[in-house]
């Protein structure tokens, strides 16, 4: 670890090889430490969620904070996403096949499987994870979390559990909302730019139970991962306003990485399962 001095030879200098090893090992240890901490918070959250008493008021507050206050943000970003994707795809389809009949159906399938949950989660990771890390982080540096501990209220029970429940629920809701927004924006783009009839565009024949299940399980997984990662970053703050800044950065980076990683894992599993089913 970094707080132990490296062993030095008789001239008082560390050898180049040792320095190389330590520079390689330090990031690995740091990452391992972070992952361990995140899983600790995750385990504690489940423990207190099942054992502790429910905190309805805090949970409803967090539902409002995570869900209602993200609606405008999600509408803007996912609306743009729908327009961008339809532009790119429609342009290609027109150039290569000249047939836009399947555009709407395939777009809906792709939205459900991939883009709606993942991009929504990236947006929630930026908006909500920074907010949580900043809020909990400033509570830590102003010693409010220590005060909670002195009142025999576990910080994880009191702070993390409501946020965990709220984000998990709202992530699913917002993903469904995101599908609607992106699909409507895509339909408008297809109508105004490619002259594609909205009735042709709205085509549900491609989607099956598999797509819906894949999208919802992704949304659920992201909804659990984001608050845990963000609260872990917030609870581990040290050192004043600089520390709060560092914690918010860590929260958004780790949450986005978690989203991308979970996306890879669940997509891969989905591919394998689809291969087994059909």
Partner 1 sequence: MSPMHKIARTFQRPLHLLGDWAMGWFHHIGGLGLLTWQVLVYLLPWKWNFDGPETWRTMYRVGVKSFPIVVVTAVLVGAIMVIQSGLYIEQYGAHGLLGWGAGYAILRSVGPILIGLMFSGRVGANNTAELGTMKVTDQIDALRALSIDPVAYLVMPRFMAMIVMMFLLVVVGNATALIGGALTSQFLLDVNMVLFFQSVVTYVLLEDLMHGLMKSVAFGFAIAIISCYFGLQTSGGAVGVGRAVNASVVGSAIALFAIDYAITYAAL
Residues that bind partner 1 (CB under 8 A): 27, 73, 76-77, 80-81, 83-85, 87-88, 91-92, 106, 110, 113-114, 122-123, 125-127, 130-131, 133-135, 137-138, 141-142, 240-246, 248-249, 252-253, 256-257, 260-261, 263-264, 267-268, 270-272, 274-275
CB of 118 vs partner 1, minimal distance in Å? 8
Looking at the Cβ atoms of 44 and 141, the one nearer to partner 1 is: 141
Distances in Å between the Cα of 189 and the Cα atoms of 80, 98, 259 are 10, 17, 28
Looking at the Cβ atoms of 37 and 243, the one nearer to partner 1 is: 243
Tokens of 117: 């949950």
CB of 60 vs partner 1, minimal distance in Å? 21
CB of 249 vs partner 1, minimal distance in Å? 4
End-to-end CA, the chain: 50
Looking at the Cβ atoms of 2 and 15, the one nearer to partner 1 is: 2
Looking at the Cβ atoms of 49 and 267, the one nearer to partner 1 is: 267
Tokens of 144: 């409010």
Contact at 8 Å (CB) between 206 and 105?
yes
* Helices 161-194 + 103-110 axis angle, to 10: 170
CB of 152 vs partner 1, minimal distance in Å? 26
Rounded (to 5) percent helix, strand, coil in the chain = 85, 0, 15
Contact at 8 Å (CB) between 235 and 145?
yes
């Amino acid at each position: 670890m970094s707080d132990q001095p490296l062993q030095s030879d008789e001239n008082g200098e560390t050898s180049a090889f040792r320095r190389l090893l330590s520079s390689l090992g330090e990031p690995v240890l740091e990452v391992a430490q972070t992952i361990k901490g995140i899983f600790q918070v995750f385990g504690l959250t489940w423990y207190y969620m099942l054992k502790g008493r429910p905190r309805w008021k805090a949970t409803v507050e967090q539902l409002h904070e995570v869900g209602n206050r993200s609606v405008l943000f999600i509408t803007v970003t996912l609306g743009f996403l729908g327009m961008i994707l339809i532009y790119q795809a429609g342009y290609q389809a027109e150039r290569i096949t000249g047939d836009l009949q399947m555009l709407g159906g395939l777009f809906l399938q792709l939205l459900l499987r991939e883009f709606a949950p993942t991009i929504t989660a990236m947006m929630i990771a930026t908006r909500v994870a920074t907010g949580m890390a900043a809020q909990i982080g400033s509570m830590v540096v102003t010693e409010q979390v220590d005060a909670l501990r002195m009142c025999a209220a576990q910080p994880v029970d009191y702070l993390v559990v409501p946020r965990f429940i709220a984000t998990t629920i709202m992530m699913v809701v917002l993903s469904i909302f995101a599908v609607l927004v992106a699909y409507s924006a895509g339909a408008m783009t297809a109508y105004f730019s490619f002259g594609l009839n909205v009735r042709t565009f709205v085509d549900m024949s491609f989607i099956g139970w598999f797509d819906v299940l894949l999208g919802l399980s992704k949304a659920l997984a992201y909804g659990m991962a984001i608050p845990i990662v963000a609260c872990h970053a917030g609870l581990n703050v040290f050192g004043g306003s600089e520390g709060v800044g560092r914690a918010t950065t860590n929260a958004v980076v780790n949450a986005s990485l978690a989203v991308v990683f979970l996306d890879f894992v669940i997509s891969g599993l989905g591919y394998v399962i689809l291969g087994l089913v059909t």
